[in-house]
């Protein structure tokens, strides 16, 4: 990566992690929206997981599905994203070019998913509250207002591309020992949430028996889910 390419990746990382934290503050600073967004995020997870139930039952795949679905977006990642923004100067200075490009893409994916999810949640609100019962058809209408099939498919490809990069990173010699050695200093410096995320991601991808198969399945199934959400006739939905 050229110096200009590295600079561009650093700028992209900073911009997108800043944008993620701005989006987190939209619901963290509003108790009513926070309550609704947490409920929406849980409902959406319950809606998506059945599409992966057979994979979830396979040894080594359950944690990877849970990590992909819940640890890469949602309410629980806000503390990690604050850590990332605070650590941005060190990250952009110390990461090798490939790592910097990867984390820049991850930050972009994170910001875009958050923006879509918050927009969907807002579209579902009736009088500042989620309806008592969220149906699939109501959810799909909200999705179609908030985003598009093309945008969501693009994000699926971004997620699985990042997964392929993580596959190569977990094979780097000594990376596991390095992460363990970082544990105490990271917590002492106030970056505990980020450290726990990195360790969980490492353990998760190490456990997958066939990463290529897993990522193909995630990509194929998520594209099919989004085709249903954005293209199926509404009268055919529940």
pLDDT at residue 71 in the model: 64
Rg (CA), the chain: 18
Domain ranges for the chain, please list them: 3-236
pLDDT at residue 174 in the model: 57
pLDDT at residue 121 in the model: 96
Q: Would the pTM of this model clear 0.85, i.e. be above it?
A: yes
Question: Quick one: how far is CA 14 from the chain centroid?
Answer: 17
pLDDT at residue 29 in the model: 93
pLDDT at residue 4 in the model: 79
**Residue 232 Cα distances to 40, 140, 165, 213, angstroms:** 21, 9, 33, 27
pLDDT at residue 164 in the model: 82
Within the chain, which residues score under 70 in pLDDT? 1, 70-76, 169-195, 197-198
pLDDT at residue 112 in the model: 92
């Amino acid at each position: 990566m050229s110096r200009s390419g590295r600079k561009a990746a650093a700028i992209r990382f900073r911009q997108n992690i800043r944008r993620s934290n701005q989006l987190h503050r939209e619901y963290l600073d509003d108790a009513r929206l926070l309550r609704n967004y947490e409920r929406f995020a849980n409902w959406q997870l319950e809606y998506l997981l059945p599409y992966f139930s057979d994979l979830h039952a396979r040894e080594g795949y359950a944690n990877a599905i849970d990590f992909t679905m819940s640890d890469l977006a949602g309410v629980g990642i806000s503390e990690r994203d604050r850590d990332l923004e605070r650590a941005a100067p060190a990250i952009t200075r110390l990461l090798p070019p490939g790592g910097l490009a990867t984390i820049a893409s991850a930050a972009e994916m994170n910001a875009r998913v958050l923006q879509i999810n918050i927009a969907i949640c807002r579209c579902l609100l009736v009088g500042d509250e989620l309806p008592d019962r969220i149906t699939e058809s109501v959810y799909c209408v909200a999705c179609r207002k908030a985003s598009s099939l093309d945008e969501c498919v693009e994000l699926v490809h971004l997620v699985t591309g990042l997964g392929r990069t993580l596959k190569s990173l977990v094979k780097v010699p000594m990376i596991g020992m390095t992460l363990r050695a970082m544990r105490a200093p990271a917590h002492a410096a106030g970056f505990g949430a980020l450290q726990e995320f990195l360790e969980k991601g490492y353990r998760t991808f190490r456990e997958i028996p066939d990463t290529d198969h897993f990522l193909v399945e995630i990509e194929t199934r998520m594209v099919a889910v989004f085709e249903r959400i954005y293209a199926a006739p509404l009268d055919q939905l529940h």
